[in-house]
Structure 1
Amino acid sequence: MREVARRANVSVATVSRALRSPGQVSSATIQKVRSAAEDLGYVYNVTASDILKGRSTVVGLVVPTSSSTLFGETIHGVQDVTAETGFSVIQGATRYDAVTEEALIDSLLERHVHALILTGMTYANEDRIRRLARNGWTRVVVVWEKPGSDPGISYVGIDNRSAAERMTEHLIALGHRRIGLIVGPYSRQARVRHRLEGYRDALEKAGIAFDPDLVMERRPDLLEGREAMDSLMSMEVRPTAVFAASDLLAIGALKAARLRGLSVPGDVSIAGFDDMNFGAYQDPPITTVRVEAYRIGQLAGQIAVEPIGTPERSYCLDCDLVIRSSTGPIQPTQ
């Protein structure tokens, strides 16, 4: 580091700040230091620095999948904040599996990460995650979920139940009474269960009996959406509207409708959830629930890099319905 300082004509402390906390120095100084370090083949040893300081500057981030553009936006939000504060991110994907989630958490804790950012809580690991938050030796932030009225844990999420209720109410207002639901793994994840509960709440308020046969539990991907829609459309009395509680499921459902020669929304209305960027480019564009995925990541990153022992902070972000042409009034012949 001393050689880098001499080459860049700055102090050793400035080199340390430029490489470890770039937000504390000017962009011109950062460029000089990085250029000198590159010329000398110097690589800053973050692990050694953390050991000397007695604290970690690594944040562990666990998401269901890294292939989704939606969770990708949350990842970008976290990374943008941590990069500004000298923290780095280790990321892993659970593929919606509780055993994989547990293994990832173990691996991250073994590395003594400063914070864990978790996408919701599976029922299998919920008690453990709450204990981690209470123990107070690592920051814990739950994202994409509002975990109860008194969570005792930091979170940046949305009210999944309320958002799903509002979307179902939109379909009911269009005259639909037989509404299918294609939803993620609600038997394993609370945030997905809340979407099912919101759907049921809207039906109950409208005096519509809940029919479990109209609910399809699927992994949120295109193929699962298509297969679930096929099942719904094969019913003797098929639904006139389908709420797919994920845009990936909705686009799969739209494909199934097209393959059957059904008009959307003439024969069946389809709604999604998440407002993934390509939903607006479908034919027809998908009605959906808009979620501020990048903002979720930003706020989670800000909480994660705070000192251990800082009180919990919680944010419940608003969700807007985005009404597009994949949903429409029920037709007289339906």
Structure 2
Amino acid sequence: MAERQLNMREVARLAEVSVATVSRALREPDKVSDDTRARVNGAAAQLGYIYNAVAGDISTGRSTVIGVLVPAASNALFAETLHSIQDVAMAAGHSTIQGATRYDEAIEGKLIDTLLQRRVKGLVLTGLTYGQEARIAQLATASDVRIVITWEKPPVDTGSISYVGFDNRKASELAVRHLIELGHTRIGLIVGPYSRIARTRHRLDGYRDALDAAGIAFDPSLVLERLPEPVEGREAMEALLAQEEPPTGVFAASDMLAFGALRALHAAGLDVPSDVSLVGFDDVDLAAYTHPPLTTVRVDAARIGRLAAQILIDPAEARSRHYCLDCDLVIRGSTGPVRSGPLRGRHTEIKLGGIPS
């Protein structure tokens, strides 16, 4: 501790400011002027001084670390949210620690425990797996750790837990209604693990809402539950095409699933959208560059991350905050009017096996 204090004094002397100002500039850079921050950072760099954030957290009793849990860090959409959280955190002199739950309740629970043991300032959770709701509510009440649920609007009162999300049910209904308005009545659904994750269950509910409103009977054989990965979307589309009466429209409730589905359609010799229309969900950057460009539900992933981080960092945000963001349907080239005539009558040599991943 004495060595740390001595080095900080040296930084203060070189930057011509007080030791307290050096500490504030390094720990809470948003609390000092741009000129002061630049002088302190320049002096620290010249001396090779690295601020001990852990010791600073201990001395003040206030953590500057935010824990973030996402289902899969490799997913482009969650990466965008992570980048936004990190940007806001860094600007305020905070850092982030991240973990991937892999849509697994046990892994999620262990990661939450680990982050709480690390005394993080707050937790950002990407929705909740079934079974965690009561536990998270108890943690929020029993500890001083702020919790923000993202990517969904919880169906029940979250009390002291904040959320930044959107209505997955209404967004999915919007996507399926678009297909119905184009004349499609046999519509497939490739959806994430709705038996484990609430927000994906809401996307299934939105699909059913759209069918009910149009008087279209629900056919469970057209609903396939898959992890949101391209290879799983490809395999699910193959299974839909192998049915006696394949769908003319498909809603893939994740762009990752839609990319795989599009690959399967092309490999089967089918034209999108003349033979099969396809809608995704998320509007990741790649969606605009597929062939054809993907019609999809746009989610503002960056804004979700920014708002979540601000809730955790801003001292004025002492009470829980609830944000339900809008979603838009971005119509591109992958959807069109329903085709005339049966699919198999026009494509008699469809081969579904052996499509490379």
Tell me the TM-score normalized by structure 2.
Answer: 0.91
Range with bigger deviation, 132-141 or 299-308: 299-308
SS in 1 for 2:297: strand
SS in 2 for 1:263: coil
Give, as a single letter, the amino acid of the residue that structure 2 aligns with 1:151. Answer: T
Q: How does 1:1-334 map to 2 (within 5 A)?
A: 1-152=8-159, 153-307=161-315, 310-334=318-342
Give, as a single letter, the amino acid of the residue that structure 2 aligns with 1:313. Answer: R
Sequence identity percentage: 61
Give, as a single letter, the amino acid of the residue that structure 1 aligns with 2:59. Answer: L
> How big is the alpha-carbon RMSD for the aligned residues of Structure 1 and Structure 2?
1.4
Q: Which structure 1 residue ranges, 5 or more long, are not aligned?
A: none
Whole-Å separation in 1 of the counterparts to 2:142 and 2:316: 11
SS in 2 for 1:273: strand
Alpha-carbon offset, residue 150 of structure 1:
2.0
SS in 2 for 1:181: strand
Does structure 2 retain, via aligned residues, the 8 Å contact 1:136–1:309?
A: no
Whole-Å separation in 1 of the counterparts to 2:334 and 2:43: 56
Give, as a single letter, the amino acid of the residue that structure 1 aligns with 2:109. Answer: E
Whole-Å separation in 1 of the counterparts to 2:191 and 2:104: 16
Range with bigger deviation, 8-17 or 228-237: 8-17
1:113-160 deviation per Cα after TM superposition (whole angstroms, max 9, x unaligned): 111110000003222112122335210100001011422221000100
Q: How many residues of Structure 1 are paired with residues of Structure 2 in the alignment?
A: 334
Give, as a single letter, the amino acid of the residue that structure 1 aligns with 2:339. Answer: Q
Alpha-carbon offset, residue 309 of structure 1:
8.9
Give, as a single letter, the amino acid of the residue that structure 2 aligns with 1:229. Answer: M
Does structure 2 retain, via aligned residues, the 8 Å contact 1:139–1:308?
A: no
Give, as a single letter, the amino acid of the residue that structure 2 aligns with 1:329. Answer: P
Q: Which has the larger radius of gyration?
A: 2
1:98-117 deviation per Cα after TM superposition (whole angstroms, max 9, x unaligned): 22111110110001111111
Q: Which structure 2 residue ranges, 5 or more long, are not aligned?
A: 1-7, 343-357
Tell me the TM-score normalized by structure 1.
Answer: 0.97
Whole-Å separation in 2 of the counterparts to 1:135 and 1:147: 20
Give, as a single letter, the amino acid of the residue that structure 2 aligns with 1:120. Answer: G
Alpha-carbon offset, residue 39 of structure 1:
2.7
Does structure 2 retain, via aligned residues, the 8 Å contact 1:221–1:252?
A: yes
